[in-house]
Amino acid sequence: MAAMSRTVRTACTEEVSPMTTLIEVRDLSKTFTLHQHNGVVLNVLRGLNFSVRAGECLVLSGQSGAGKSTLLRTLYGNYLPAAGSIRVQHEGEWTELVGATPRQVLEVRRKTLGYVSQFLRVIPRVSSLDVVMEPALAR
């Protein structure tokens, strides 16, 4: 039986193969230093590795304080990682976000990545779905 060929339509309306890796994270680590507590270092993310392909969903599950939000903020460039690599397919090329200039990160945010905080501003008469979809629709 012949293998079935499929394509996935992304929010940017470009067609990509479902086998195309869009995000690749390697050996990602993030620490926080508690200066008010004698410089105690919290290792929040340690040696994290994963990739996300087109059409794939990745679930982040864990207890409060496990590092889920820290991971998302690090992927989006709000937090600087202590070590590792975050590569994103952006305009047909890999872009390394760790060590990227603020201008490069902003360009990836505008065209490739979207992020909606868990602390949404509640807007009367606007559905949660509309609030979450807004970054994708803005493209």
Q: Which CATH class is domain 8-114?
A: alpha beta
Q: What is the pLDDT of residue 128?
A: 74
Query: What would the pLDDT profile of 38-93 be if each residue is shown by its tens digit?
Result: 999 999 999 999 999 998 888 889 999 899 999 999 999 999 999 999 999 999 99
Q: Model-level pTM?
A: 0.76
Q: What is the pLDDT of residue 121?
A: 64
Residue boundaries of the structural domains of the chain: 8-114
55-64 contact pairs (CB < 8 A, 24+): 55/8, 55/18, 56/18
When comparing pLDDT for 117 and 111, which is higher?
A: 111
